[in-house]
Amino acid sequence: MSKSLKALLAQKAEENTQRHREANYRDDFDVGRQHTKLPLDRIDPNPYQPRTSFPEEEIRELAVSISAVGLLQPISVRAVGERYELIAGERRLRAHKLLTRPTIEALVISADEATSATLALAENIEREDLSDFEIGESIKRLEEHFPRRTKLAESLGIQRSDLYRYLSFASLPDSIRKRLAARPKLLSRSAAADIVRVLKEAGNDESISRKLEEAWALLESGKLDQTKLASFLCNSATTTAGTRQRPTHIMKQGAKVGTFSQTPHEFVMKVANNVLTDEQKLKIQQFVLELLA
């Protein structure tokens, strides 16, 4: 992870911890200043939770610790209507549920959605390094709060190039993303960016998608290193490249308006929609139908 990103998030986590230190424990509290006990059934999960995996053994160990010495640090929540939304402390909350305790100590702070998402990311990084995939998923959810990716990169204190690497996870096939959610540390952001680049260069070549599934199975079994995934796919693309012709550009008044392309399975014509009139489109359809007939 970028050192500047970790430093920024660590600072936000420390600011949140400072709120805990300064909070006065009372049942009647001012939002953002004191903490109290809240019923577990009034706390909703954080939609921006960056961590995707919560091993049961770790939750059980934490529950044993809480049972023996108590909760060392309250969870953080924000008020949403008459309920509360978790900001940080998912593992502590799960441990309390495992212990069937009705309430949990919580610090209620004033935070908008962007702050909630950033704090959740900061708290998790402070306790245990998140995987690049989990950070990427969290940053993707943060993106909706920023008009441009440049602003998002600036707010996180990272280069745009590194931001794009984190966001590359979102461009992976859904099947791979689901498997990553279960084992998020399998793939780094750099390896993900390399895979996405190969997939984009291959276009709609289904053989590359099948090859990715094959490569992923090798990765999960430990027979292929993540740094070699992209080259594994590139070799497959090179093997099939000889059967794929380069696209022929369709020109109009010196400008490219479309392409003819051919793969082992398809002949494809693509033309910009505003180039042809409805009458011309109909003529092309009729010509193709007559030609095939």
Global pTM? 0.54
The tokens 């461009």 sit on which residue? 171
- Is CATH 3.40.50.300 the classification given to domain 3-130? no
Q: State residue 186's pLDDT score.
A: 93
Q: State residue 204's pLDDT score.
A: 65
Domain ranges of the chain: 3-130, 172-241, 245-292
CB-count exposure of residue 243 (10 Å: 0-12, 13-18, 19+): exposed
**Tens of pLDDT, residues 32-82:** 446 789 999 999 998 877 777 788 998 999 999 999 999 988 998 999 988
| Pair 193, 164: CB distance under 8 Å | yes
Low-confidence ranges of the chain (pLDDT < 50): 1-3, 24-33, 241-243
DSSP secondary structure letters along 190-205 = HHHHHHHHHHHHHTT-
